[in-house]
Amino acid sequence: MSELMNFAPVVLKNLFSKPVTKNYPAEPAVYPERSRGHIEIDLETCIMCGLCMRSCPSGSIKVDRPNMTWTINRFDCVQCGYCTVVCPKKSLTINPGYQEPGQEKFEASYTKPQPEVKPEVKAEAKPEENK
Amino acid sequence: MGKRSVVPFGPQHPVLPEPIHLDLVIEDEKIIEAIPSIGFVHRGLESLVDKKNYKEMMYIVERTCGICSFMHGMAYCEAVEDVMDVEVPDRGKYLRTIWSELSRMHSHLLWLGLLADGFGFESLFYQCWRLRESVLDVLELTTGGRCIFSVNKIGGVLKDLDDDMIKAILEAVSKVEVELEAIKKTFLFDYSVESRLKGVGVLTKQQAHDLGCAGPFARGSGLKLDMRLRGYDAYKDLDFEPIVSEDGDGYARCYVRTMEIFQSIDLIRQAISKLPKGDIAVDVKGNPNGEAFVRVEQPRGEAVYYVKGNGTLFLDRMRVRTPTFANLPGLVETLKGAQFADVPLLILAIDPCISCTER
Ligand code: SF4
Ligand code: SF4
């Protein structure tokens, strides 16, 4: 049963074909649409309920309700996507593109703009006064 | 009788991808006895059930293993679904089967590569991993992750396959089928490969049975043990026969795994042709109360999941028995009487996954 030279055709084909690997970084990596790279938040819809913070298996999200900030430690996040599943407002999405490596872990904070009724009225009133 | 000495082997070794330690009692170049010890990568995943609720645990059990990740998550979900009397929609079951079989393909291709590396056939090693890459790419396309998919949930799956993705899966498996056909000849008929595998580390059918071996390791010894025959998920509707070889040596294990890749390709095609329409998941309400025991066939063999809930968000107990754990006694048996130079190959032959053994 045993034979010699079984591998020769594979080797020959290999010798005369292009490399299988990409010439990265000259040729950029292409991620499919579903690739789980990083979490993005839509602060417009987030209601700061803190459910994502309580559900994250690796504990990488912090929600500070009084200051209206949403913080994520992207180095601790394991890209499981559970926060996107639990968020009641579907404010979180997981998109392609990985966090760049760094020498230290750091957090990214996002503060919710506060469109309260009063400041808006004032802001509108001011230009009128100036006129 | 020569002088006996003890050679420590592992946990770090150039050929071994996994941290297992063996004390080898040798006489000249012959192994008299092997004493395994594990415990280098224990992470305490089972005890995390106290801190993480049963839905979050899904994402933790998935990380038990980097290769059979999907099937760990799936077995856990099935155990919890069993406790909660949840019936997963048919499409969800079929998708789980398709992803399971794709996982099996990439795991076996990885193993074939490592085996080739183990007996020093570097270019064959890279050919196997090149093929594995096309499976990983299609997994990334369909689930978003290359090894850890995070698509399971209690009650079904999170992501559906559209027509383009199904086409991509079929194209990828066809490509692997054609190219593996060429590489297969080297694994199964090449003179130098045969000389390293034939008659090495023989485990008889009786021994494999008595030592409780599982998966391709047991099937290589002639035991027709395959948990897929239990008919979980879509396997009840699919037509397949476990691949068994009677020889019980390294060659038989290599044969079983190579042929299982072709079997997986066939199962994927069958599952796709029968893929029902409909929901992929059901909503789950309440907390698990009761206990369940689930057995699934992973690439390395049978994994057993046990969960016990008490009606709260947190489970009382979760227990995992992984296939490598079942295969360690068999490994120790095959090492007895083997040549020292064959030890890495014999350890590779059980496809060890120590990090899931230690959890
Ligand atoms: S779960 Fe959603 S809505 Fe709630 S704090 Fe997190 S991102 Fe905002
Ligand atoms: S993706 Fe997972 S680990 Fe990352 S922030 Fe969301 S829940 Fe946490």
Q: Is the CB of A56 under 6 A from ligand 1?
A: no
Q: Is the CB of A83 under 6 A from ligand 2?
A: yes
From the list B59, B142, B190, the residue facing A7 with the nearest CB is B190
Q: Is the CB of A78 under 6 A from ligand 2?
A: yes
Q: Where are the beta strands (DSSP E) in chain A?
A: 38-41, 61-64, 69-72, 92-95, 108-111
Smallest CA–CA distance, residue B110 to chain A, in Å, is: 17
Handedness of CA B332, B336, B341, B346 (dihedral sign): negative
* pLDDT above 50 (res A125): no
How far apart CA A25 and CA B352 sit, in angstroms, is: 34
Strands A92-95 and B315-321, sheet pairing: unpaired
Beta-carbon count within 10 A of B128 CB: 25
* pLDDT above 50 (res A124): no
Q: Which of A84, A98, A83 is nearest to B145 (CA)?
A: A98
Mean pLDDT, all residues of chain A: 78
Q: Which of B112, B107, B191 is nearest to A7 (CA)?
A: B191
Nearest CA to ligand 1 atom 3: A46
- Sorted by where each starts, the structural domains of chain A and their CATH numbers stand as 33-114 (3.30.70.3270)
What's the pLDDT at A1? Answer: 47
With CB atoms and an 8 Å threshold, state whether A80 touches B133: no
Quick one: which H or E segment has residue B294?
strand B289-298
Q: Binning pLDDT at 50, 70 and 90, where does residue A57 land?
A: confident
Domain limits, chain B: 44-358
What's the pLDDT at A2? Answer: 54
What's the pLDDT at B1? Answer: 60
φ/ψ (deg, to 5) at B240: -160, 160
Cβ-based interface (< 8 Å): residues of A facing B = 1-4, 6-7, 9-11, 14, 20, 31-32, 34-36, 55, 57, 78-82, 85, 94
Topology adopted by domain B44-358 = Cytochrome-c3 Hydrogenase; chain B (1.10.645)
Q: Is the CB of A60 under 6 A from ligand 1?
A: no
Give the residues of chain B that fall short of pLDDT 70. Answer: 1-2
Q: Is the CB of A47 under 6 A from ligand 2?
A: no
Q: Binning pLDDT at 50, 70 and 90, where does residue A120 land?
A: very low
Chain B residues in contact with A93 (beta carbon < 8 A): none
Amino acid at B329: P
Q: Which residue has the tokens 């819809």?
A: A45
What's the pLDDT at B281? Answer: 82
φ/ψ (deg, to 5) at A69: -120, 145
Secondary structure class of A93 (helix, strand, coil): strand
CA distances A96 to A53, A61, A99, B30, B165, Å, are 22, 19, 10, 53, 17
Residue count of chain A, please give it: 131
Nearest CA to ligand 2 atom 4: A77
What's the pLDDT at A117? Answer: 55
A99 and A29 Cβ atoms separated by less than 8 Å: no
What's the pLDDT at A131? Answer: 38
Q: Binning pLDDT at 50, 70 and 90, where does residue A116 land?
A: low
How far apart CA B116 and CA B259 sit, in angstroms, is: 16
With CB atoms and an 8 Å threshold, state whether B63 touches A78: yes
Smallest CA–CA distance, residue B25 to chain A, in Å, is: 34
Beta-carbon count within 10 A of B159 CB: 19
Percent of chain A at pLDDT > 90 equals 0
Name the closest residue on chain A to residue B128, using Cα atoms.
A10
Cβ-based interface (< 8 Å): residues of B facing A = 52, 55-56, 59-60, 62-63, 123-124, 127, 130, 133, 140-145, 148, 150, 153, 158-159, 182-183, 185-186, 189-191, 194
How far apart CA B65 and CA B75 sit, in angstroms, is: 13
How far apart CA B107 and CA B352 sit, in angstroms, is: 12
